[in-house]
Structure 1
Amino acid sequence: MIALLWSPPAPAGRGPRQRLSLDQVVEAAMALAGRDGIEGLSMRKVAAALGVGAMSLYTYVPGRDELFELMIDRAWADRGRADPTLPWRAQVEQIADQAWQMYQQHGWLVSSNPARLPLGPHVLDAQEDLYRAIALTGLPEPDVVRIAGAVEGHVFGAARAVVVDARQAAATGVSSDGYWESRASFWGTYYSAERFPTMTRIWEAGGFDLEPDPGADMRFGLAMLLDGVELAVRRRAAAT
């Protein structure tokens, strides 16, 4: 699998010519996943989309799991690099925005496991970019790793919420607003201001009246996270 990520086979120079390239197989799989979700992806469907027999795909990639890894690394190639002339925080914000856009473009990526990403060139390029930006803080290396994980985890979680909600709306025909409207009777029947005083106070103050804006919500959470990093940087500087 590592060899496929880093040294994909060149087209055969002798013998029967392969009809496809590995890139074509990966791109077809990504298109299918974008349409049907990763749950609907199969080697048979990819082969049908390419107009070849299912068994012929196994001459390009060992199986569906390996194909998924290639898809992930290819999708991560869409993440641009941060401007290295900017301060560390602005670079991290750029990287987070690029990751957010990647998940919006390739919603099926939220089915990947962030703890087991493929060791592909594009995944590692993006991780190097994030580590490099955070390392500019001067914080200890273990802290750099933890902060990078927190940033990636925050963006992934925010993106997953958007993608999953859109999938459920498409599958059920019920929008997010429709979902909550169908449960309107709860508030008069079961909700208790005495039991939930903090939520009640926030509600009465208009705290839940925000217009839906997932991108703004993601950036707000990121700002809170990076404010904490800046505080850690100042504390470290004051202690030295």
Structure 2
Amino acid sequence: MSDESAAVEQARRRIAALWGQAPAPTRGRPARITRDEVIEAGIALADAEGLDAVSMRSVARRLEVGAMTLYSHVDGRRELLDAMVDRAYADFTIPDPDLPWRAGLERYAREMWAHRRRHPWLADVNAWRLPLGPHVFDVEEAGYRTLVDTGLSARRVAEIVGVVQNFVLGFARSVAAEEAEARDEGIDYETYWRSTSDFWEHYFDPERYPSMTRLWSSGAFDEDQGPFDVPLSGLLDTIEVLIERAQAEGASPIPSYEDCMARYDEEVARQIEEFEGKA
């Protein structure tokens, strides 16, 4: 079997497991625990100690079973991590779909922030290869729904939701790093910056950094929120301008769900053909 064929087969197994269609396992002893218990144990371990702490053995120890028992429910660590990520996304509170776009998108972004604070280990998961699970897709759908009928083009909607996600997740990753360093060094955020007063007095050169000096003199940094909130207002203001411009220009609306379904099978077949042609 070629490397590509093996990758396709592995992807099929992983996706089937996420959607409850995995074949019956052929390894391991008769189940003493449930698949849900395995997944929840993995999440609890990752929440407490980070993703690196999760292995088949460590999860088995937490459940007080042998490692081989886990293979009755997951085919290895990779499949376990897929299930953990998708289950963690089930913990995401979806915004009310009837909210106006700005309120809905802000609530979506703040819930994403809170969600990553609850499960900081998700920062160590490759966001470009999230498992294709139902709960991951529920969260993606909720983000797109906030903007799909605003007059923005389809490409711009996808682009903006991606920008919002990356903004929030990047900020959450930075906060996680700050908290880890505070634990390791025993110095919190405010104490660290108070300890740097000598730098500002003896090393900072206003002539070398004139833009920074102008911002500081104008109070730009007077209301520093610290690392425990995500600043969204400026980003949302920018998106509002883009929506107003699209509406003023009379942009064509994104096709309705019914219109898309009328040609859905044809479009899927076309995209599969194009994808396979590039392989």
Q: TM-score, normalised by structure 2?
A: 0.77
Contact 1:8 1:22 in 2 (8 A): no
1:140 corresponds to which letter in structure 2? S
After TM superposition, give the deviation of residue 145 of structure 1 in Å. Answer: 0.6
State whether structure 2 residue 245 is matched by structure 1 residue 235.
Answer: yes
Pick from 166, 186, 190: which aligns with 1:177? 190
CA distance in 2, matches of 1:171, 1:62: 35
2:86 corresponds to which letter in structure 1? D
State whether structure 2 residue 54 is matched by structure 1 residue 54.
Answer: no
Alignment of 1:91-170 (within 5 A): 91-170=104-183
After TM superposition, give the deviation of residue 212 of structure 1 in Å. Answer: 3.0
After TM superposition, give the deviation of residue 58 of structure 1 in Å. Answer: 2.5
Contact 2:189 2:226 in 1 (8 A): no
Higher Rg: 2
State the identity as a percent: 43
After TM superposition, give the deviation of residue 215 of structure 1 in Å. Answer: 5.3
Contact 1:11 1:18 in 2 (8 A): no
CA distance in 1, matches of 2:83, 2:218: 49
Pick from 81, 89, 92: which aligns with 1:79? 92
State whether structure 2 residue 210 is matched by structure 1 residue 197.
Answer: yes
Contact 1:80 1:98 in 2 (8 A): yes
Cα deviation, 1:143-197, whole Å, max 9, x if unaligned, reads 1110110111111112111112111211222222333344433223321111012
Which structure 1 residue ranges, 5 or more long, are not aligned?
none
1:236 corresponds to which letter in structure 2? A
Distance 1:213-1:183 versus aligned 2 partners, 3 A rule: closer
Which structure 2 residue ranges, 5 or more long, are not aligned?
1-13, 251-279
CA distance in 1, matches of 2:122, 2:198: 36
Contact 1:81 1:95 in 2 (8 A): yes
CA distance in 2, matches of 1:38, 1:161: 17
Contact 1:11 1:17 in 2 (8 A): no
After TM superposition, give the deviation of residue 223 of structure 1 in Å. Answer: 2.5
Contact 1:202 1:208 in 2 (8 A): yes
Contact 2:31 2:72 in 1 (8 A): no
Contact 1:73 1:118 in 2 (8 A): yes
Distance 1:92-1:215 versus aligned 2 partners, 3 A rule: farther
State whether structure 2 residue 219 is matched by structure 1 residue 206.
Answer: yes
CA distance in 1, matches of 2:121, 2:21: 23
What residue is the counterpart of 1:32 in the other structure?
Answer: 45
CA distance in 1, matches of 2:154, 2:241: 17
144-153 or 165-174, which deviates more: 165-174
State whether structure 2 residue 234 is matched by structure 1 residue 224.
Answer: yes
